[in-house]
Amino acid sequence: MTDGARLVVISPPELENGFLLGGVEVIPVRNASDTDDAIHRLFAAGTTGVIAVYEPFLTALPEARRGRLDRSIMPVVVPLPTGLEGDAASDRRARLMARLQRAIGFRVTFGEAGNE
């Protein structure tokens, strides 16, 4: 990938191998503090286009920090859902769509299943 176009996942060490098998660069972290440090390093390097962050660690960051990350256009920071039953798929989709719109300047819409 070219500079600014790579994807990096920030997740707990126990999820690292799954992402590595998928060919994704992973930064293993154990808590929100380590997550914030990793995000800071990626922003400073300026070579990452998308940072996917394990959602529990992202939501544990201070609200002001999360707000700055939400407004970031490059790199785009997206929560990586845990896949647990409590995750609201429609809420995740709405947040991702808002970030994509901000990053590319257009609202992206997808047809509903059966309506394509």
Per-residue pLDDT of 50-102, as tens digits, reads 999 999 999 999 999 999 998 888 899 988 877 655 555 556 667 667 666 66
Residues 6+ apart with CB under 8 A from 70: 77, 99
Report yes or no on 16 lying in a domain. Answer: yes
Question: Which residue in 68, 48, 108 sits closest to 38, CA to CA?
Answer: 48
Residues of the domain holding 78: 6-104
The CATH number of whichever domain residue 13 belongs to comes to 3.40.50.10580
Report yes or no on 113 lying in a domain. Answer: no
Q: What is the mean pLDDT of residues 29-36?
A: 96
- Provide the number of structural domains found in the chain: 1
Question: Which residue in 69, 20, 75 sits closest to 48, CA to CA?
Answer: 75
- pLDDT recorded at residue 102: 64
- pLDDT recorded at residue 115: 44
Say if residue 1's pLDDT is above 50: no
| 8, amino acid identity | V
Question: Which residue in 55, 60, 67 sits closest to 12, CA to CA?
Answer: 55
Q: Please state, for a pLDDT cut of 90, what percent of the chain lies above it.
A: 54
Strand, helix or coil at 65? helix
Answer whether 0.85 is exceeded by the pTM: no
Please state, rounded to an integer, the average pLDDT across all residues of the chain. 81
